[in-house]
């Protein structure tokens, strides 16, 4: 391993043609230059200079190092500039894995804020539903995972993963606008026990079945889809009713669908998950702060 300071001094010796000339340029004493060159020769394992009369000449090893000195120092300088840019948040990439409704709401707000305050920090967006998305975090495929959980569902996360709670997302009942219960402000789940249902992703479906069981009935699930637009379109067509998080309705609401509060209220917890060691990465910490700020601005969730 070479000390970059010694490589820099070596290059100045080559330019000046002597230890004394390099000492004047660098503001060192000549013995200091001599000591640095001896240290570099120890690192290399052989002599770099030989004297012919009063002149210094490079050995074969010295000529080889001379051919690479500029590249070595330029590479180090470039690396230092890039590290400085990342540390000062002038650059950086953060991979975020999020479920679809978070990708459509929180992520655009975060990216818009970054574009103004930290345009060099880029967010690479991946999509995934929990628990698969948490697995991607553990495997190092992303830096932050946005996921949700429901009451009574304990999220199993490794010790090295930190949960950052963002907000609670209220669940709503979706009805065709002509449905008799659409005139109410809130709807009891048991009042829809005889309806056909459209269910969502596996985790949402499991919670839905649990809540129905708590109300004493097993729902007739006619269709299932992870696509929120498909669910709303099916409800609008009168095929069935659905239970959906309010976050979805904040950016997507079919004109022939009525969203009504669930009575009693039920909510899911939306959180960000990150590896503990990544909390010290400036760009990752910045994106987490932006996610918190975007969550605080959520209305109706």
Q: Where are the domains of the chain?
A: 4-68, 85-167+269-297, 169-267
**Per-residue pLDDT averaged across 186-196, rounded?**
95
| Whether pLDDT at 207 is above 50 | yes
pLDDT at 301: 32
Pick the CATH number of 169-267 from 3.90.650.10, 3.40.190.10, 3.40.50.2020, 3.30.70.980: 3.40.190.10
CATH superfamily of 85-167+269-297: Periplasmic binding protein-like II (3.40.190.10)
Nearest CA-CA partner of 205 in 288, 259, 272, 129: 129
Please give the average per-residue pLDDT across 57-67, as a whole number: 89
pTM for the predicted model, two decimal places: 0.71
State the DSSP string of 222-253. EEE-S-HHHHHHHHHTTS-BEEEEHHHHTT--
Can you tell me the distance from the alpha carbon of 260 to that of 182, in angstroms, rounded to the nearest whole number?
Answer: 7
Which segment of 72-86, 102-116, 217-231 scores lowest on mean pLDDT? Answer: 72-86
Going by pLDDT thresholds of 50, 70 and 90, the confidence category of residue 83 is low
Q: Label residue 218 by pLDDT band (50, 70, 90).
A: very high
Q: Do domains 85-167+269-297 and 169-267 have the same CATH topology?
A: yes
Give the other-Cβ count within 10 Å of 53's Cβ. Answer: 6
Confidence (pLDDT) at 300: 41
Name residue 121's beta-bridge partners: 92
Confidence check: pLDDT of 205 > 80:
yes
CATH of domain 4-68: 1.10.10.10
Burial of 277 (0-12, 13-18, 19+ CB in 10 A): exposed
Q: For the residues 1-24, what does the mean pLDDT come to?
A: 88
Is residue 217 pLDDT above 90, yes or no? yes
Say which residue, 103 or 52, is predicted with more confidence: 103
* Tens digit of each residue's pLDDT (9 = 90 or more) over 246-270: 998 888 788 899 999 999 999 999 9
């Amino acid at each position: 391993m070479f000390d970059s300071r010694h490589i820099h001094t070596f290059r100045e010796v080559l330019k000046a043609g002597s230890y004394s000339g390099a000492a004047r340029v660098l503001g060192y004493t000549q013995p200091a230059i001599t000591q640095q060159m001896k240290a570099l020769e120890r690192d290399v394992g052989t002599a770099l200079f030989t004297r012919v009369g009063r002149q210094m000449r490079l050995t074969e090893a010295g000529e080889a190092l001379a051919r690479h000195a500029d590249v070595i120092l330029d590479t180090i300088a470039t690396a230092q500039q890039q590290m400085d840019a990342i540390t000062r948040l002038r650059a950086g990439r953060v991979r975020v894995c999020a479920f679809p409704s978070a990708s459509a709401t929180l992520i655009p707000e975060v990216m818009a804020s970054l574009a103004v305050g930290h345009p060099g920090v880029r967010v690479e967006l991946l999509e995934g539903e929990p628990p698969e998305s948490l697995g991607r975090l553990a495997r190092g495929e992303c830096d932050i995972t946005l996921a949700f959980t429901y009451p009574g569902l304990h999220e199993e996360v490794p010790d090295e993963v930190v949960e950052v709670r963002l907000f609670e997302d209220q669940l709503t009942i979706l009805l065709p606008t002509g449905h008799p219960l659409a005139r109410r402000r809130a709807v009891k789940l048991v009042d829809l026990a005889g309806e056909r249902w459209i269910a969502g992703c596996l985790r949402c479906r499991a919670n839905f079945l649990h809540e129905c069981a708590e109300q004493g009935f097993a729902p007739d699930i006619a269709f299932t889809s992870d696509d929120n637009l498909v669910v709303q379109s099916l409800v609008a067509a009168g095929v069935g009713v659905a239970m959906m998080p309010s976050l979805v309705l904040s950016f997507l609401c079919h004109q022939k669908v009525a969203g009504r509060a669930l009575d009693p209220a039920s909510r899911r917890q939306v959180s960000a998950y990150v590896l503990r060691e990544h909390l010290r990465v400036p760009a990752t910490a910045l994106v987490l702060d932006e996610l918190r700020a975007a969550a605080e601005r959520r209305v109706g969730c």
